[in-house]
Chain A
């Protein structure tokens, strides 16, 4: 039987600004239904956890979801675990769309929630590409 590994989706923690909240919420949307067959891990575990957590990106092709150009999730995963299969930079994406969030880091506006849904679709595309690469 050929059991395919799941795809990992890991968000930055993003406490500094609303972009971090958007990346977190978009990642939750992925897990909750957009691609419910994905898995995640709390990013701080890459440094604070044990070697099991550090094997995450080796076990699962992983898509990083970052709030800004600092790309903390992508860099941390690549430093501790292995190369990411793909990455999403929220700041860049919103700039490309010519959009700006209107809520706060604590409370997203209705428009922000729509952005998060749209971002989740972008993440889903990367997840599907990672899966296709896996299938060869």
Chain B
């Protein structure tokens, strides 16, 4: 049976706060805001070529969450044969919220937490748009 939950995959970039923001926002969506509608999985499984993870992205509606213009989440999903049904970029969020300047990477500071919360709402909206409750 096809997994009907929307698959939200962040890049989890580790060098700057943007990857942490995308990661936290994803967890907020799948664990708190839309637990029945959204799920996530390790992007690294796709990087190393895990067949089950590849099948999952091929059979799911996918939301890619990227921390920088290199767009690793989008590219890795596409390389695995998945389709990007929605793409959310932390850089766009920063442009819309110029007053917020996140600086901490390991544990987000106040501005980072605010951005993660805003991003989570955006992702949740995408999930609502995509979720049909049935198979893709």
- Residue pair B47, A44 in contact (C-beta under 8 Å): yes
Q: Which residues of B contact A13 (CB under 8 A)?
A: 10-12, 42-44, 47
Q: Which has the most chain B C-beta neighbours within 10 Å: A12, A41, A104?
A: A12
A62 to chain B, nearest CB (A): 14
Residues from 47 to 80 in B contacting A, C-beta threshold 8 Å: 47-50, 70-73, 75-76, 79
Is A72 in contact with B48, judged by CB distance below 8 angstroms? yes
Q: How far is the CA of A13 from the CA of B107 in the complex (A)?
A: 15
- Which of the candidate stretches A19-27, A83-91, A127-135 sits at the interface with the other chain? A19-27
* Interfacial chain B residues near A27, Cβ < 8 Å: 14
Contact among A11, A45, A72, A105 for B70, CB-based, below 8 A: A45
Also in contact, A106 and B10, with CB within 8 A (given A15-B40, A16-B41, A76-B47): no
In the complex with contacts A13-B12, A15-B42, A16-B40, A43-B47 CB distance below 8 A: yes
Does B91 make an interface contact (CB < 8 A)?
no
Structural contact, A14 and B12, CB atoms closer than 8 A: yes
Contact check, B40 vs A79: say whether CB atoms are below 8 A apart: no
Q: With A and B bound together, what is the CA distance between A79 and B49 in angstroms?
A: 10
CA distance A20 to B26 in the complex (A): 14
Interface size on B, residues (CB 8 A): 35
Known interface pairs A75-B48, A104-B31. Does A15 touch B43 (Cβ–Cβ under 8 Å)? Answer: yes
Take A15-B26, A42-B13 as given contacts and tell me if A28 and B105 are in contact as well, using a CB distance cutoff of 8 Å: yes
Do B44 and A48 have beta carbons less than 8 Å apart? no
Q: Could you tell me the distance in whole angstroms from the C-beta of A66 to the nearest C-beta in chain B?
A: 8
With A42-B14, A48-B75 already in contact, the answer to whether A70 and B70 are too (CB < 8 A) is no
Which residues of B are found within 8 Å of A20, using beta-carbon distances? 42
Contacts of A11 in B (CB 8 A): 14
| In-complex Cβ contact of B12 among A24, A40, A76, A106 (8 A) | A24
Chain B positions within 8 Å of A15 at CB level? 9-10, 12, 23, 26-27, 40-43
Interface residue B99 (Cβ < 8 Å from any Cβ of A): no
Q: Can you name 25 A-B residue pairings with CB atoms under 8 Å?
A: A12-B44, A13-B43, A14-B12, A15-B27, A15-B43, A25-B106, A32-B106, A42-B13, A42-B72, A43-B14, A43-B43, A43-B47, A44-B12, A44-B72, A44-B76, A45-B70, A47-B76, A48-B76, A49-B72, A67-B42, A70-B42, A70-B48, A72-B45, A73-B44, A79-B48
Closest 8 CB pairs of A and B: A44-B72, A72-B44, A48-B75, A106-B27, A13-B12, A28-B106, A76-B48, A75-B48
